[in-house]
Every structure is written in structure tokens, then in C-alpha cells.
């Protein structure tokens, strides 16, 4: 089975549509969205619609949750909080209902999918370092857990070894961000995982950053949310 895994779209319609086109070329058996469809960007409703055409397998992210319950945005930085408040007002009732029904985690095809971390998926903890990953491996029994949240693509192994994903060892894989990359590469990031050959690939996709940034500025959202797209950080 071949999975395409996307995460952290953040209402960036241009990035999502470019990734959706790439996924169609890859022709996976299933697509999983790890959450944060909204937040930061200027096209939340449109992005929810695109995701719903791509897949029924969609998880809840912390920015999705905050757009529904603004009390959950209290720990956000000022720009993220402004974006959450704007998104809350912008979302249709249909899309709010859709978000409210999303789960924190999903087990599919023998693989675990979460937005933040398998140990405490509702606490929105980050997995950024090997130490973070080591704390999370005991929390799941599947051979692979896919995460997003940090916007930083990477692979963590239970034995701290480097190299490709392989059978017989647990891995946590971050697929990066579709709509707001933070690894100094402005291209969208997503993953393809083949359970038959046990192979993982991170795929980068160029998109129209100028158009996405212009929409953020036009919506009256904080200018740094537009500027950061060009730098990928």
C-alpha cells in the first residue's frame, strides 16, 4: 500500500493545490492529512474543501482546534493568535462542524498517524530532537508513526541510527509542512510511504508563493505571516 501524507497546510491554497497535483501524479492508494488545515493563511474554507476531495482520512491539528475554540489559542504567539481569531470569523458553519468531528490520531494499514505526538496527541507537544522522539517510542506499537506539527521534515529511529526506513525497527517520521515550511526551504513538503517495499520519500513541491502571500496581506493578517513564506522559516 502506498500512502501520501500531508500536514500543516495552514490555509495556503496555492501550496495545497500544487501538492494535490503532485499527489495525483504519484497515484497513492490513500492520502492522510495530519491536520492544521487552517491557521496563518488566508484561504481556510477553500483548503478544507480541497482536503475533503483528497481524502476522508483527516486528523485534528492545534490550529484547527484553536479556530473552533479560541480559548485554545491563548498559548499562541501574537501573530498565530490573530490568525486564529480571523479564521474563527472566516470559517463557515459547515467547516466548523467538519473540524469539530476530526480525531487526534488514526491507525491505518498498520501505521499510526498523529498531528503532534503519539504519547500525548491532545497536548500538542513537539517532536524536534532525538530526545523528544525517544520519549514517544514507548507510546505506540506500530512500526511507523507519522507526525507533523513542527513543520520540520525528518526521520527518527528507535535505535538512534541514521539512514533509510527499514523493517524491524520503529520510526517516527515528520513529513514537513505543505503551507508553511520552516526548514529554510520554501517549497511545500509531504511524504510518500510504500508499505510493500518499506520505503519513504520526502517530496518537495514549488508553488506560487507570491499569490499566497498577497492573499495574506489582502486579508489584513500580520505581514510577517506572508514574508516568512519566501524564506521557508
What secondary structure does DSSP assign to the chain, as a single string?
-EEEEE---TT-HHHHHHHHHHHHHH--SEEEE-S--SSSSS-HHHHHHHHHHH-SEE---HHHHHHH-GGGGTTS-HHHHHHHHHHHHHS-HHHHHHHHT--SEEEETTEEEESS-SSSTTTT----SHHHHHHHGGG--SSEEEE-SS---EEEETT---SS--TTS-EEEE---SSS--SS--SEEEEEEETTTTEEEEEEE---HHHHHHHHHHTT--HHHHHHHHHT-
User: Residue 170: how many CB atoms within 10 A of its CB?
Assistant: 18
pLDDT digits (tens, 9 = 90+) for 162-203: 888 999 999 999 999 999 999 999 999 999 999 999 999 999
Interval 138-161: pLDDT, tens? 999 999 999 999 999 999 999 998
pLDDT band at 211 (very low <50, low <70, confident <90, very high): very high
SS3 labels along 146-183: EECCCCCCEEEECCCCCCCCCCCCCEEEECCCCCCCCC
> pLDDT tens across 74-126, in order?
889 999 999 999 999 999 999 999 999 999 999 999 999 999 999 999 999 99
Range of the domain at 147: 2-231
CB-neighbour burial class of residue 71 (10 A; exposed 0-12, middle 13-18, buried 19+): exposed
Quick check: 213 pLDDT over 90? yes
Distance between CA atoms of 117 and 153, rounded to whole angstroms?
Answer: 14
Rg of the Cα atoms in the chain: 16
Whether 11 shows a pLDDT value over 90: the answer reads: yes
- What is the DSSP track for 7-36? ---TT-HHHHHHHHHHHHHH--SEEEE-S-
Instruction: Output the pLDDT for position 162.
Output: 85
CATH number for the domain spanning 94: value is: 3.60.21.10
Domains: count for the chain: 1
| Spatial distance between the Cα atoms of 114 and 33, rounded to a whole number of angstroms | 9
Amino acid at each position: 500500500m502506498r500512502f501520501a501524507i500531508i500536514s500543516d497546510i495552514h490555509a495556503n491554497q496555492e501550496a495545497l493545490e500544487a501538492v494535490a497535483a503532485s499527489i495525483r501524479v504519484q497515484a497513492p492508494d490513500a492520502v492522510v492529512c495530519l491536520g492544521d488545515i487552517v491557521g496563518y493563511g488566508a484561504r481556510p474554507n477553500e483548503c478544507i474543501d480541497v482536503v475533503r476531495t483528497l481524502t476522508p482520512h483527516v486528523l485534528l491539528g492545534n490550529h484547527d482546534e484553536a479556530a473552533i475554540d479560541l480559548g485554545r489559542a491563548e498559548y499562541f504567539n501574537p501573530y498565530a493568535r490573530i490568525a486564529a481569531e480571523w479564521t474563527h470569523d472566516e470559517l463557515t458553519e459547515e467547516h466548523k462542524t467538519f473540524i469539530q468531528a476530526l480525531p487526534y490520531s488514526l491507525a491505518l494499514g498498520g501505521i499510526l498517524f498523529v498531528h503532534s505526538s503519539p504519547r500525548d496527541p491532545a497536548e500538542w507537544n513537539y517532536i524536534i530532537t532525538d530526545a523528544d522522539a525517544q520519549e514517544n517510542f514507548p507510546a505506540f506499537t506500530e512500526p511507523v508513526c507519522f507526525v507533523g506539527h513542527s513543520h520540520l521534515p525528518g526521520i527518527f529511529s528507535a535505535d538512534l541510527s541514521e539512514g533509510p526506513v527499514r523493517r524491524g525497527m520503529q520510526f517516527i517520521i515528520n513529513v514537513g509542512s505543505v503551507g508553511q515550511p520552516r526548514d529554510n526551504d520554501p517549497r511545500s513538503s509531504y511524504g510518500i510511504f510504500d508499505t510493500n517495499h518499506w520505503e519513504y520519500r520526502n517530496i518537495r513541491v514549488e508553488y506560487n508563493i507570491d499569490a499566497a502571500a498577497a492573499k495574506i496581506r489582502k486579508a489584513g493578517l500580520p505581514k510577517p505571516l506572508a514574508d516568512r513564506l519566501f524564506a521557508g522559516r
